[in-house]
Chain A
Amino acid sequence: MRVGIVCPYTWDVPGGVQAHVRDLADSLLELGHEVSVLTPVDEPDEADLPPYVVPAGRAVPVPYNGSVARLAFGPLSLARTRRWLREGGFDVLHIHEPTVPSLSMLACFAASGPMVATFHTATTKSRALQVFGSVLQPGLEKITGRIAVSPAARRVVVEHLGGDAVLIPNGVSVRRFEGAGPLPDQPAVPTVAFLGRIDEPRKGLAVLLEALPELVELVPDVRLLVAGPGDVEEVRESVPASLRGHVELLGMVSDADKPRVYASGDIYCAPNTHGESFGIVLIEAMATGTPVVASDLEAFRRVLEEGRAGVLVPVADPAALATALAELLGDPDRRAALAKVGREAVQQYDWSTVTARIVEVYETVVAVEAELDHAVDVDHAVDAFADDLADVLDDDPSRLSAALRRWLSRTPS
């Protein structure tokens, strides 16, 4: 299929929607589809653009929804969008965030034919949607296939735009994490890895540090490998001096090093206290073949398949966490078994699986559009036939075509 994708946000500024579009485009290409992505680009010469990206010019920073969004809107952007649509000849057009006043909205109004939209935003209090919802509605009505990336995003679609959307979550690049090796110069001691913002209480590093004294008693040479942005010194201060030798704080690590952090642990620990909706970190850790010990949160329980693919511990219970970690560190067979189950369990979250589902949406939308064209063809055929018949019978063509239509609607297809 020839797929045209519209990304409303500047390509060379990191963001969730951009990453989603990039991963989707890559895996569509891998499946043998043709892809073109229209997106604003600030520095087309400096940015390392993939060959499928068509730059639509610079974006203008606009305060929007409480932060600054870089958007492309106006006659020039519209002209470029129209040209891209005309020259692309796409079988299906996939618009991301069609309610954002940028290329997406322009494409939504300028295009016709099979259209799919993905809604990412989970903010229920979107001023723009409340004010402009009904103005946007006629444009959105052209979109047959609507996808939401989370239950919250789906709620936004249902509440503000009416209609419904199918839920297809973000993919994870499982392949990028598979087969990762550990960081260089790792000591050969039992290691528990943690990755996440170290100063955000809900990520639960404090719970893990609280479990440390008991864990050291059970496993004397244990080591915590902690990576993630935040104030490293502050965290170091919070650990009792006698235990500081057991904690290695890496600070923020690069994207390339993330898989190696997981792979450096004998166990990956996710002691989060609340507020997780998906559990990407767990999926990434499991993809590297590192067994997981995680808080018994709803999202984590789903990813760990009720404890079949990892160990669940009571939320914010340092004693239970220490026991669970010590038990698993002392049981290499169990760790190997969990690693194996985990590797298989995360395949369903890989982009290849998610993209296959999105392609199903494309196929369904193309089928609906074919029925539309077919209906138009039948319409034309009926009118043409009525005209010919009118000449022969010397009757009124409109009367004949009405009679023909009545007859057609009675006939089972």
Chain B
Amino acid sequence: MTTLVWVLVGLVLLGAYVTWTAGRLDRLHARVDAAWAALDAQLVRRAAAARALAPFVEDPASAARLDEAAHRAVEAGAEDRETVENDLSRALRVAVPRLAPTAPVDELRAAASKVALARSFHNAAVKDTRTVRWRRLPRLLRLAGHRAMPTFFEIDDTALAG
């Protein structure tokens, strides 16, 4: 009889833990999605600001390259996003020192600085989520459902940032 009670208590505790962890994973995934949406918005803002600066680049080749890189960054799909954004970072590194003194760089600076922050917060959320998902129980019981494992977004965003 007592064994049965203990088994029941154990099952109830396990059930509570599983429910809580599933809820926690749900919140974590929601935070990753929200952080990505915020990062996405800043990346688009950065690309738009970069494109607006292209006419102010004094060397035509760098100007063309910046314009093209910025254009591709706006159009990019999810798969090659890192490559395309890195390319834009490189184009910015070349173009920014060649800007005319009258170029309005404030918007680009603000966007670049926000990209760095949003990326750091996104990757922290991804790390938190992955840590919980890699634990034995959530993996065994598939507590994350069919959701894909969130991935880090790694680009060089140091150009112009803070």
Contacts and interface: CB of A to CB of B under 8 A. Distances in A.
B54 interface: no
**Main SS of the interface on chain B?**
helix
A391 interface: no
B121 to A, nearest CB: 5
B38 A141 contact: no
A213 interface: no
Contacts of B82: none
B137 to A, nearest CB: 13
A125 to B, nearest CB: 22
Interface stretch (A40-48, A323-331, A361-369): A361-369
A141 B28 CA distance: 8
Given A164-B123, A371-B37, A138 B24 contact: yes
Contacts of A375: 30, 33-34, 37
A162 interface: yes
A356 B160 CA distance: 16
A374 B131 CA distance: 26
B41 interface: yes
B126 to A, nearest CB: 9
A372 interface: yes
Contacts of B33: 371, 375
Contact of B124 (A138, A165, A357, A360): A165
Contacts of B93: none
Interface residues of B, number: 26
A369 B113 CA distance: 19
Nearest to A145: B121
A343 interface: no
A363 B116 CA distance: 13
Contact of A360 (B28, B35, B38, B113): B113
A166 interface: yes
A368 B34 contact: yes
Interface in B25-73: 27-28, 30-31, 33-35, 37-38, 41-42
Contacts of A165: 120, 124
Contacts of B117: 145, 166, 360-361, 364
A364 B128 contact: no
B34 A141 contact: no
A146 interface: yes
B114 A141 contact: no
A375 B34 CA distance: 8
A396 to B, nearest CB: 20
Contacts of A187: none
Given A162-B127, A163-B128, A357-B162, A371 B24 contact: no
Contacts of A363: 114
A144 interface: yes
Given A364-B118, A368-B38, A144 B127 contact: no
B144 interface: no
Contacts of A371: 33-35, 37-38
Nearest to A141: B128
Nearest to A116: B121
Contacts of A164: 120, 123-124, 127
A141 B116 CA distance: 20
B125 interface: yes
A138 B120 CA distance: 19
Interface string A117-157: 00000000000000000000110010011100000000000
B38 A367 contact: yes
Contacts of A364: 38, 42, 114, 117-118, 121
Contacts of B27: 141
B124 A163 contact: yes
A137 B125 CA distance: 12
A92 B28 CA distance: 19
A365 B121 contact: yes
Interface in A354-413: 357, 360-361, 363-365, 367-369, 371-372, 374-375
30 contacts: A137-B131, A141-B24, A141-B28, A141-B31, A144-B124, A145-B121, A146-B121, A162-B128, A163-B127, A164-B123, A166-B116, A166-B117, A166-B120, A360-B114, A364-B38, A364-B114, A367-B38, A367-B41, A367-B118, A368-B34, A368-B37, A368-B38, A368-B118, A368-B121, A369-B34, A371-B33, A371-B38, A372-B31, A375-B30, A375-B33
